[in-house]
Structure 1
Amino acid sequence: MTDGLDPEDPAAFRRAAHALLDACLDRLEGARDYPWQSVPEAVKAGYRLDGGGQGETTLAQRLAADVLPHGTGNTHPRFFGWVHGTGLASGLMSEMVAATMNANLGGRDHGAIYVERAVIDWSRGVFGFPETASGVLVTGTSQATVIALAAARVRALGQQVRKTGQGAARLTAYAGAGVHNATKKALELLGIGSDNLRAIPETDAGMDTGALHAAIAADRAAGAMPFAVIGTAGSVDLGRFDDLNALADIARDEGLWLHVDGAFGAWVRIAGAPWSGLVTGIDRADSLACDFHKWMYVPYDCGLVLIRDEAAHRAAFAARPSYLEGQDRGLAGGDPWYCDYGVDLSRGNRALKVWSALVAYGPERLGAAIADNCARAAQMGDLVAADPHMRLMAPVVSNLCVFTADTRLPADGQSALNTAIAQDLQLSGDAVFSTVTIDGITALRAAITNHRTRPEDVVQAITAVAHARDAG
């Protein structure tokens, strides 16, 4: 009998693991055959942890039968709901290696640290940040936003704010009205308060810069301390992009920190013309938050924050008690440690799945997939425009297409119909749309971030919408 928790029968474990791997590969290869499905009540009941100790062979069987089939469905090519990444074959391999290594990337001198440095170096180059800029991989843009705005707060108030708090200082930040809720949460977590986030009106071209100037001036006159402008590269509702060069000019002139929320949209940077032009000026940002698990398709979770001024980044987070003191040789070497650049001391090996995707496919193929997603959204927009009763709720800018299915109905009727269509198509497995309210109408929203989506999938999805509408 094997001591501890290692497999008692290594040969049996190997067979079970190979069988589970085959089940995963079958699922990956057959992604088109597996749309989202609701979880049966019997399966839900089976998840309860009423007992254990069944061994790895039984575990492998249960993982394949009861867990693997019941994901979000985002690997399916007609999953257009929300902005969900779709995973890569390289991710399956990298996650297997990462789990075996079980490395903590808080710091120290080991191979995974150098992999993360390579990913950050590559990302700096992509976005035009200087070589002296810093970065760290995080759970996603929500955490990245907290880190970026924490650094901005320290720059505005000084490093003593970490110990004393911000006292009577009233910091104010500015973003387009459609900014992601992650920014509001970040301001709340930092003690700044979401009431101090000014929602600036937007047009199809992004934030109204005249209104931004006015809001900054009004806050200064009222005794507040403006400290940050948050630009959006790909809004969550309509896929809009702010004019980042214009925001960079304002931030420079007003002495503000420019943060860019590029959760998914920042990656048009590698998609080529015309899409890459949407983020012109992103290289001028003080900080950038984005996700590899969205439009770079790697498995969840994996986000990135880049900060132009490494000193400002470290000033907000560096803290090394004696038991974490670095050494000049041995495992305690390897400075800098990533625990000095964020909130996590215990960190998983997120960078390996990014590194693996870049090694396997290269930025050109990944960029081509992003460009194709934008082309599929444009195709969907054309199909909507060609239907006499559908209507686009806004121009298709990148990979989001938002529309209503039947303009013959009043606003509340359209909302009810669009909601019903979204639910019906999800349950039937035809397609997954989400919904968003635009101009008082709950509309259908397609966010195309799936490298498996083909032109025929878009046709099939819009055909299904029309059939559901006409059947009602």
Structure 2
Amino acid sequence: MANDSAKSCGLDPDNWKNFRAEAHRMLETSLDQLQQVAERPWQEVPEAVKESYAVEASGASAAEIVDRITDEVLPYHGGNIHPRFWGWVQGTGLASDLIAGMAGAVINANTGGRDHGANYMERAVIDWTRQKMDMPEGTSGVLVAGTSQATVIAFQAARVRVMPQVRKSGQGTTRLTAYAGQGIHNATRKALELLGIGFENLRLVPLIDGQMDLAALRAQIAKDRAAGAQPFLLVGMAGSVDLGTYDDLNGLADVAADEDLWLHVDGAFGAWTRIADDPWRGLSDGIGRADSIALDFHKWMYVGYDCGLVLIADEAAHRSAFAARPSYLEAAERGLAGGDPWFCDYGIDLSRGNRALKVWTALELYGEAALGAAITDNCRLAALMADEVTAHPNMRLAAPVVSNVCVFTARNDLAPEAQSLLNSEIAQILQESGEAVFSTTRADGLVMLRAAITNHRSRAEDIHEAIAAVARLAQAG
């Protein structure tokens, strides 16, 4: 039924009492979803529901919208809120997001600039994070959609450092080269493409025991310089996508210093071992020596999507890569146009949502110790999964578990092609049944099952039952 209040009173509710009642009902329904999340795994979206999403834009009552969201939206989530979701690297979201989301919606802050509370909160979140990452005081940063955007920002700052005129005149014929270990996340390649550097100028250095071969790295840099290229960027991994491995970040920092390269660390999820217990905390030792770090709060800090961060040690280099203030955005000493520095001078976006609020709310509500304990527990669960896998005679790990990622094949006694087909089929069957969500990746020439555990709701019994389900399907296959 159309809501006549929209015709008579604009876009605010005509009857606040009725709207308040429906908002309360939506809150209770949302709390039910969170409290009963273990009973609500991923499920395929029925065709009728897909069709129901067609936009009619004819106006409806708040009650009708709450009913539709309850029936057509909440049941068909992406699965990552469920305790047995370990596919890809996706965070679970937190109950605190609900509180922060309500406040964020009514404030509706644009954090591109100006003098208001959200910008001061963002600076506080950035400074807390730079301390956890052991970066120097004065380190700059900006909250972004995720590590992919953070990577573009960091690489642009690295490029402007070696080519100060690039924003004005372009890169011209200069051939910049970048270096990363084999298996680096695709965000590095995409950033180089977007900046016009080109992915063919990314050198993929071989690995030794999951870490970049430093001797091979130095040799490649020397070779490129001899060929007339200008090496400018070295990218380290803090938590590789496939196996959760870490580069020797201190070793990379030494190479970067010797070769005058900008050291960037892709710490999308793995940077957060900085607040975990030993031995996992030590995996990211040396990260504070980086010129820039890209990381996500929406992965291994469990905060709701989306929320990433880029940290850049040299604030002047960061600002010089992006600052451009037209006359209509001139700052003032007082009033709303005050509050310098503005975040629009440190990234791509002028219009920016209030991402800091949900991070701040989570940190203040749960505390660093609880979040660090959850990260530590995820690593312990990955080790437990590895133990479960090795206990089955026909299963095999792709590599020892280093952090929170476990990759394995369900039937090592089959031919390679048969193993790949079986592993892929098991992943799909378990997803469709709601028993567990594994993703797949390629290792040793095989398609293997992969669990990336960034889920604060997972428990030991989830690991036991999921591996038992894999074993059951492997034998049936």
User: Structure 1 length normalisation: TM-score?
Assistant: 0.99
Provide the rounded CA distance (Å) in 2 between the counterparts of 1:376 and 1:52.
49
The one-letter code matched in structure 2 to 1:67 is: V
**Aligned residue in 1 for 2:465:** 460
Deviation at 1:272, TM superposition (A): 1.8
| Equivalent residue runs for 1:201-220 within 5 Å | 201-220=206-225
SS of 1:69 mapped into structure 2: helix
Residue type matched to 1:107 in 2?
G
Give the C-alpha shift of residue 38 in structure 1.
Answer: 0.5
Q: Give me the whole-angstrom Cα distance separating, in 1, the residues matched to 2:428 and 2:14.
A: 47
Aligned to 1:370: 375
Q: Secondary structure at the match of 1:437?
A: strand
**1:192 CA displacement:** 0.3
Aligned to 2:309: 304
| Mapped contact 1:137–1:305 kept (Cα < 8 A) | yes
Of 150, 155, 158, the match for 2:156: 150
Query: Once the 2 structures are TM-superposed, how far is the Cα of residue 52 of structure 1 from its aligned partner?
Result: 2.6
Is 2:142 aligned against 1:100?
A: no
2:408 aligns to what SS in structure 1? Answer: strand
Distance (whole Å) between structure 1 residues aligned to residue 203 and residue 102 of structure 2: 44
1:427 matched residue in structure 2: 432
Report the alpha carbon displacement of residue 51 of structure 1 after superposing the two structures with TM.
Answer: 4.1
List per-residue Cα deviations over 1:373-421 (Å, max 9, x = no partner): 0000000000101100000001100000000000111111000000000
Contact 1:205 1:243 in 2 (8 A): no
- Structure 1, unmatched stretches of 5+, are none
Residues 209, 246 of structure 1: 8 Å contact kept:
yes
Name the structure 2 match of 1:195. Answer: 200
Matching residue of 2:335 = 330
Residue 40 of structure 1 corresponds to 46
Partner of 2:286: 281
Structure 2 unaligned runs (5+)? Answer: none
1-side partners of 2:383 and 2:357: how far apart? 33
Opposite residue 468 of structure 2, the aligned amino acid is T
Partner of 2:220, secondary structure, is: helix
Equivalent positions of 1:45-84 (< 5 A) are: 45-84=51-90
Partner in structure 1 of residue 147 of structure 2: 141
Find the aligned partners of 1:342 and 1:3 in 2 and give their Cα distance. 39
Residue of 398, 401, 407 corresponding to 2:403: 398
Aligned to 2:353: 348
Residue pairs, 1:236-275, within 5 angstroms = 236-275=241-280
The one of 190, 214, 231 equivalent to 2:236 is 231
1:221 is the counterpart of 2:226? yes
Answer whether contact 1:7 1:56 (CA < 8 A) is retained. Answer: no
**Counterpart in 2 of 1:163?**
168
Q: What amino acid is the match of 2:363?
A: L
Cα distance in 2 for residues equivalent to 1:4 and 1:203: 64
Q: In the alignment, which residue of structure 1 is the partner of 2:119?
A: 113
The equivalent residue for 2:34 is: 28
1:284 to partner: Cα distance = 0.2
1:389 aligns with 2:402: no
How far does the alpha carbon of each residue in 1:332-356 deviate from its partner, in whole angstroms, 9 at most, with x for none? 0000000000000000000000000
Shift of 1:56: 2.1
Number of corresponding residues: 471
Q: What is the rounded CA distance, in whole Å, between the counterparts of 1:184 and 1:293 in structure 2?
A: 22
Query: Residue 11 of structure 2 corresponds to which residue in structure 1?
Result: 5
- DSSP-derived class of the 2:11 partner: coil
Q: Per-residue displacement from partner, 1:95-129 (whole Å, max 9, x unpaired)?
A: 11101111100000001111101101101111111
Query: C-alpha distance in 2, partners of 1:444/1:155?
Result: 42
Distance 2:438 2:254 in 1: 38
Separation in 1, partners of 2:57, 2:152? 39
Q: Distance in 2 between matches of 1:204 and 1:94?
A: 42
* Change over 3 Å in CA distance of 1:51–1:111 after alignment to 2: closer
Give the residue type in structure 1 aligned to 2:404: N
- Bigger drift between 55-64 and 98-107 goes to 55-64
Counterpart residue identity of residue 452, structure 1: R
Q: Distance in 2 between matches of 1:244 and 1:344?
A: 30
Paired with 1:35 and 1:29, the residues of 2 have a C-alpha distance of 13
Residue 204 of structure 1: how far off its partner (Å): 2.4
Query: Aligned with 1:68: secondary structure?
Result: helix
Cα deviation code 1:158-213 (max 9, x no counterpart):
1x100111000000000011100000000000000011000111132411111111
The aligned amino acid for 2:110 is: N
Q: Pairwise CA RMSD of aligned residues? A: 0.8
Identity %: 65
Superimposed CA distance per residue, residues 249-289 of structure 1 (whole angstroms, 9 cap, x where no aligned partner): 00000000000000000000000211110011001000000
Alignment partner for residue 313 of structure 1, among 314, 318, 325?
318
Match of 2:344 among 339, 342, 347: 339
The correspondence for 1:129, drawn from 132, 135, 157, is 135
Matched, 1:19 2:25: yes
